[in-house]
Structure 1
Amino acid sequence: MVHAKRTLIFGLGLVLLLAVAGTVLAPSIVTGGTSQAPFPGLVGMVCTTAGPNPTFDLKTAEGYIQFPDGNSIYMWGYTLATSAFQMPGPVLCVNEGDTVTINLTNNTPGISQPVSIIFPGQTNVTAGGGTAGFLTNEAAANGGSVSYTFVASQPGTYLYESGTNQELQVHMGLYGALVVRPALGPNFAYNDPSTEFDPSREYILVMHEIDPDIHYAVSNGQAANLLARHDRYWTINGRSMPDTLNDNFVPWLPSQPYGALVYVEAVEPSLNPGAKPALIRYANAGTAIHPFHPHGNHLKAIAQDGRFLGGAANENFARSLAAGQTMDLLFQWRNVEQWSPGPNGPVPVSLPGLQNLVFKDGVTFYSGDPELGEQDELPVGVTSFNECGEFYYPWHSHALFEFQNFDEGFGGLATMVRVDPPASLGLCP
Structure 2
Amino acid sequence: MRTLMLATSAVAALALATAVGPGHAAPAAAADRPRVGIVCTEGSGGVPGSPVFDLTTRTGYISLPDGNTAFMWGYSNGFDGFQHPGPVLCVQEDDQVTVILHNTLPDRSSIVFPGQDQVLANGLPTTPEVDGSGRATSLAPTAAAANGTITYSFTASHPGTFLYESGTDPDKQVHMGLFGALIVRPALGADHVYDRPDSAFDTADEFMVMLSEIDPYQHQAVEQGKSFNMNTYHPRYWLINGRGFPDSIADNDASWLPTQPYGALASVYPADPGGGTPPAVARYLNVGTEDFPFHPHGNNGLVIGRDGVPLAGPSGQDLSFEKFDVNIGPGQTWDVLFRWYDAEGYSPQNPVPVTVPSMANQVIGVFYSGSPYLGTKQTLPAGTPTLNQCGEYYIISHNHALFQITSWGATMTGPITYMRINPPQPNQCG
- Aligned-residue offset at 1:339: 3.6
For the 8 Å contact 1:67–1:240, the answer to whether it is kept is yes
The aligned residue for residue 64 of structure 1 is 61
Q: Number of paired residues?
A: 390
Moved more, 171-180 or 302-311: 302-311
1:151 aligns with 2:169: no
- Aligned-residue offset at 1:351: 1.7
The aligned residue for residue 428 of structure 1 is 429
Q: Distance in 2 between matches of 1:295 and 1:69?
A: 25
What CA RMSD, in Å, does the superposition of the two structures yield over aligned residues? 2.2
1:119 aligns with 2:151: no
1:262-283: CA deviation from partner (whole Å, max 9, x where unpaired): 000012458xx73211111001
Which stretches of structure 1, 4 residues or more, deviate above 4 A after TM superposition?
A: 16-20
Q: Which secondary structure state, in structure 1, belongs to the residue aligned with residue 98 of structure 2?
A: strand
The aligned residue for residue 44 of structure 1 is 37
- TM-score of the pair, normalised by structure 1: 0.86
For the 8 Å contact 1:339–1:372, the answer to whether it is kept is no
From 89, 93, 97, the equivalent of 2:90 is: 93
Which ranges in structure 2 are unaligned for 5 or more consecutive residues? 1-12, 18-26, 130-136, 313-317
Which ranges in structure 1 are unaligned for 5 or more consecutive residues? 1-15, 30-39
For the 8 Å contact 1:66–1:73, the answer to whether it is kept is yes
Q: Which secondary structure state, in structure 1, belongs to the residue aligned with residue 278 of structure 2?
A: coil
The aligned residue for residue 84 of structure 1 is 81
Q: Which secondary structure state, in structure 2, belongs to the residue aligned with residue 401 of structure 1?
A: helix
Q: Distance in 1 between matches of 2:387 and 2:206?
A: 23
Moved more, 415-424 or 206-215: 415-424
Alignment of structure 1 residues 286-297 onto 2, 5 Å: 286-297=288-299
1:128-184: CA deviation from partner (whole Å, max 9, x where unpaired): 289935311011111111111110000000000000101111000000000000000
Distance 1:17 1:70, change over 3 A: closer
Moved more, 381-390 or 246-255: 381-390
Distance 1:225 1:381, change over 3 A: farther
1:106-128: CA deviation from partner (whole Å, max 9, x where unpaired): 123xxx22111000111111112
Q: Distance in 1 between matches of 2:158 and 2:319?
A: 18
- Aligned-residue offset at 1:26: 7.3
For the 8 Å contact 2:65–2:414, the answer to whether it is kept is no
- Aligned-residue offset at 1:52: 2.4
Alignment of structure 1 residues 275-286 onto 2, 5 Å: 275-286=277-288
The aligned residue for residue 348 of structure 1 is 353
For the 8 Å contact 1:127–1:137, the answer to whether it is kept is yes
For the 8 Å contact 2:299–2:339, the answer to whether it is kept is no
1:334 aligns with 2:341: yes
Q: Which secondary structure state, in structure 2, belongs to the residue aligned with residue 384 of structure 1?
A: coil
Q: Distance in 2 between matches of 1:298 and 1:427?
A: 28
Distance 1:85 1:152, change over 3 A: same
Q: Which secondary structure state, in structure 2, belongs to the residue aligned with residue 247 of structure 1?
A: coil
The aligned residue for residue 213 of structure 1 is 217
Q: Distance in 2 between matches of 1:382 and 1:41?
A: 31
- TM-score of the pair, normalised by structure 2: 0.86
Distance 1:254 1:179, change over 3 A: same
Distance 1:344 1:422, change over 3 A: farther
The aligned residue for residue 6 of structure 1 is none
1:261 aligns with 2:255: no
1:216-266: CA deviation from partner (whole Å, max 9, x where unpaired): 111111112221122111111110011010001111100001111000001
Q: Which secondary structure state, in structure 2, belongs to the residue aligned with residue 385 of structure 1?
A: coil
Which structure is higher in RCO with an 8 Å CA cutoff and minimum separation 6?
A: 2
Q: Which secondary structure state, in structure 1, belongs to the residue aligned with residue 138 of structure 2?
A: coil
Q: Which secondary structure state, in structure 2, belongs to the residue aligned with residue 124 of structure 1?
A: coil
1:368-407: CA deviation from partner (whole Å, max 9, x where unpaired): 2111111224344332222111111111111001112221
The aligned residue for residue 250 of structure 1 is 254
